[in-house]
Structure 1
Amino acid sequence: MKDKYSGVIKELSDKELLFHLYLTQIILLTISGILGMILMDSFVEFLRLFQWNDKNILLIGGIAGLAVVILDLFLMRVLPSSYYDDGGLNERIFRNRSVLHIAFIAAVIAFSEELLFRGIIQTHAGLVISSLIFAVVHYRYLFNWFLFSNIVLLSFFIGYLFLLTENLWVTIFMHFIIDFLLGVIIKIKYQNNKQEGMFHE
């Protein structure tokens, strides 16, 4: 199954991968809209999920996001590279993007995923169910026990912060920080490796 998945990824161009990424986010937003209309009593209830005037957005969301990235970078250094093998998908998505495009991708993913998994599902089904669904939706991580464990723990952590702050902007900002910084790091590493390869030729 893993080999079949990797084969499908390799056959897709970078442009096609990006298209599928955005399509997935549109699907998640559509599901959020449908579930929101079914489960929420009013639009006011929906708006209560978002509190702009909250220092926790930067304080908790920002610090938590940075902490996750720092821990990730540390683990990448000390653990075998196979532990972080996702079939090359993340590298394919971020390696040739501009920093601005990476920021846009990270913002779209953070908003759509947090709206559905924390704002809609966790609010109505609880932390455990939303965290497990979040992990399973990240299908490619199912083939790597370390990455899957990682995404489960991260999902519970993000869910707990939402439980604590009751503000979706906190978890959206945290999610954005993680995806944006790791995306930029992937881009820099790829460019450095490419330059080293050209230098040694």
Structure 2
Amino acid sequence: MKQSEIIKSLSDDELKRQLMLSQLLLIIISIVLSFFLFNKLTQWVNYFNWDIQEIFYYGVLSGLLVVLIDIVLIYTLPKRYYDDGGINKRIFKNRTIIDIFVIALIVSISEELLFRGVLQTSFGYIVASVIFAIVHIRYLKKPVLLISVLFVSFYIGYMFVVTENLFVTITAHFIVDFLLGILIRFQR
């Protein structure tokens, strides 16, 4: 059974629960891998810098740039290029703004902890970015979506190379997911 068919068979509440469970799994994987890959778990603390200027410049502005590029592509390319099998529409369409906020926040935290905080710091920028794209399996057969997720992954990974600040990457990831979730929610 295809991922899109499985998602269609779930109610909105079941879909949200499955999404939250998958993100919890990513957090658990991050913690477990940290025990093996870091000398001390306190190494994580060094990757959280509350530098408002850095978070705004690299996180907020970069997130907005990615969303702007995505919006331009969404409205200029044929719809089939951005069709992920209706999965994102199912995730965001019938949600409140608060639900979209919470989903985007949890996804951005869990994915950035794993891909930047653990994988990128342990195996490098390219490995983490490629694995991030592969995890978004539903995009692998859609060239435009695959290129888009690869671009975003490498871009956010590069921001982590420059800043070594997980607040920056979490912020950028959150802005992308939240604003595109809002766009999907209110799209006709």
TM-score, scaled relative to structure 1: 0.90
Counterpart of 2:101 (choices 100, 103, 108) is 103
Identify the range of structure 1 (49-58 vs 30-39) with the bigger mean alpha-carbon deviation.
49-58
The percentage of aligned residue pairs carrying the same residue is 47
| Number of residues of Structure 1 aligned to a counterpart in Structure 2 | 188
3-state SS in 2 of match to 1:56: helix
RMSD over aligned Cα, in angstroms? 1.2
Question: Which structure 2 residues correspond to residues 78-97 of structure 1 after superposition, within 5 A?
Answer: 78-97=76-95
1:79-99, CA deviations, whole angstroms, 9 ceiling, x for partnerless residues? 000010001111111111111
1:6 counterpart residue number: 4
Q: Distance in 2 between matches of 1:25 and 1:11?
A: 20
Question: Which structure 2 residues correspond to residues 57-136 of structure 1 after superposition, within 5 A?
Answer: 57-136=55-134
Q: Distance in 2 between matches of 1:175 and 1:6?
A: 23
Identify the range of structure 1 (97-106 vs 108-117) with the bigger mean alpha-carbon deviation.
97-106
1:71-120, CA deviations, whole angstroms, 9 ceiling, x for partnerless residues? 11111111000010001111111111111111111000000000000010
Deviation at 1:42, TM superposition (A): 1.5
1:145 counterpart residue number: 143
Do residues 39 (structure 1) and 16 (structure 2) align? no
Rg (Cα) greater in structure: 1
Deviation at 1:5, TM superposition (A): 3.0
TM-score, scaled relative to structure 2: 0.96
Once superposed, which parts of structure 1, at least 4 consecutive aligned residues long, lie more than 3 Å away?
none
Structure 1 runs not aligned, ≥5 long: 194-201
1:15 counterpart residue number: 13
Q: Distance in 2 between matches of 1:53 and 1:150?
A: 28
Structure 2 runs not aligned, ≥5 long: none
